[in-house]
Amino acid sequence: MKQGNYISPIFKLSLRDADSVPRKISYSQWATYEQCPRKWKLNYIDKLDSYTDSIETTFGTAFHETLQHYLTIMYTDSVKRADSLDLRAILTQKLRMEYSRCLETNGGIHYSNAIQMAEYLEDGSAILDWFTKRRKQYFSTKDWELIGIELELCTPASKSNPSVYWYGFIDVVLRHVPTNTIHILDIKTSRMGWNQHQKADPIKTAQLIAYKNYFSEQFGIPKDNITVEFFIVKRKIVEESMFPQKRIQQFKPAAGSVTQKKVQRQVDAFVEACFDTEGNKNETRTYLAVSGKGDKHCKYCPFKTDYANCPKADRIRN
Ligand code: SF4
């Protein structure tokens, strides 16, 4: 469990010691493979990952923690106390702390500056201000209880392999007490929200379908009693719009049994192709380089110009 996060005592009983499992895979690992198997191999087998910190990831972490802190106080203490929090000050402190943490791990290489940080702070404060004024539209303590914040999932990823575990943290889990329904939320920080293309992206939406499947497995809650939602916050809104602009976009992807089975089949295929029954990675098979239509997968890929590891001639555009 991540330090400082919350989990309801009864759900704690079903947590697993993640250090004791042979192999863990995450949503981002699986999504990388789904998009381009070569990219997965270069990242996770050859360890050529060139992850770099950015203001977006720093802001994302700081904003998540600020909103999660508000919700924890709201559900475990009182709405009044949550509303009395100085969220701007908390966000400022978390931005500073996260930026310092990244500098410590990257050898002190600056990737932002005071002007940019100030802009993100203003954006985050505007979202929090908008949210607290309309909090009742999104979260209520009447009939709802908090199950977890950054709730750790660690459960077998595929029935065909006992060594590979799905591992991840769910941003917010609530329970609607009268119906005993679990509501899983994933918070996304975004510039202007998700467009139709992003909402229709099956790899993006699969994150919550997978969380639903694995939450059900680990905590013994029927899938029919679990709902999922992306809680997307927008840093920017269209200022001259004729219509009132919302800072928060709620998106509930299709998560019925057909979609659940489809996602599980894809994870099964990934586990079977890439791991042996002891959880070792398959280093000998061929991992196709799938660049996608118009090379869209390569656009932000760190191996885009690494022609030694991903020759142009290998790239498949379908
Ligand atoms: S550059 Fe394109 S084809 Fe090569 S690994 Fe990256 S996404 Fe795959």
In tens, the pLDDT along 63-83 reads 999 999 999 999 999 999 999
d(CA 33, CA 31): 5
Query: CA-to-CA distance for 306 and 284, rounded, in angstroms?
Result: 21
Which two structure tokens, joined as six digits, stand for 76?
A: 């475990």
Mutate to test the pocket of ligand 1, among 303, 309, 314, 316 (most ligand atoms within 8 A of CB): 303
Q: What is the span of the domain harbouring residue 251?
A: 9-272
What pLDDT is stored for residue 2 in this prediction? 57
In a domain, 318, yes or no: no
Which atom of ligand 1 approaches the CA of 290 most closely? 3
Residue 108 has pLDDT above 80, yes or no: yes
pLDDT at 4 over 70: no
Provide the pLDDT for residue 241.
77
Q: How far is the CA of 110 from the centre of ligand 1 (A)?
A: 27
Q: How many CB atoms lie within 10 A of CB 23?
A: 18
What is the amino acid identity at position 94? K
Please tell me the distance between residue 316's alpha carbon and the centre of ligand 1 in angstroms.
Answer: 9
From 271, 259, 172, select the one nearest 215 (Cα to Cα): 172
User: What is the tens place of the pLDDT at every residue in 156-213?
Assistant: 999 999 999 999 999 999 999 999 999 999 999 999 999 999 999 999 999 999 999 9
Indicate whether 312 belongs to any domain.
no
Confidence of residue 51 (pLDDT cuts 50, 70, 90): confident
Residues with Cβ within 6 A of ligand 1?
36, 38-39, 42, 289, 291, 297-298, 301, 303-304, 310, 315
Average pLDDT across the chain, whole number: 95
Residue 149 domain-assigned (yes or no)? yes
Per-residue pLDDT band for 214 (boundaries 50, 70, 90) equals: very high
Residue nearest atom 5 in ligand 1 by C-alpha distance: 39
Expressed in angstroms and rounded, the spacing between residue 310 Cα and the centre of ligand 1 is 6
Higher pLDDT, 245 or 265: 265
Q: 302 in a domain, yes or no?
A: no
Q: How many domains does the chain have?
A: 1
Residue 176, token pair as written in the block: 């609607």
User: In this predicted structure, what is the pLDDT of residue 236?
Assistant: 95
CATH number of 14's domain: 3.90.320.10
In a domain, residue 195? The reply is: yes
Alpha carbon separation from 260 to 25, 33, 124, 138, 281 (Å, rounded): 18, 19, 34, 26, 25
Residue 122 lies in a domain: yes
Residue among 34, 42, 49, 298 whose CB has most ligand 1 atoms within 8 A, to mutate: 298
Report which protein residue has its CA nearest ligand 1's atom 1.
Answer: 304
Residue 251: per-residue pLDDT: 98
Q: Could you tell me the distance, in angstroms and rounded to a whole number, from the CA of residue 288 to the centre of ligand 1?
A: 9
pLDDT digits (tens, 9 = 90+) for 276-299: 999 999 999 999 999 999 999 999
Residue 161 lies in a domain: yes
Cα–Cα distance between 142 and 137 in angstroms, integer? 12
23-25/161-176 β-pairing: parallel
Cα distances (angstroms) measured from residue 267 to each of 15, 29, 30, 154, 218: 22, 11, 7, 15, 16
Residue 145 lies in a domain: yes
Which one of 34, 35, 36, 306 would you pick to mutate in the ligand 1 pocket, going by the greatest count of ligand atoms within 8 A of its CB? 36
Q: Could you tell me the pLDDT band of residue 5, with boundaries at 50, 70 and 90?
A: confident
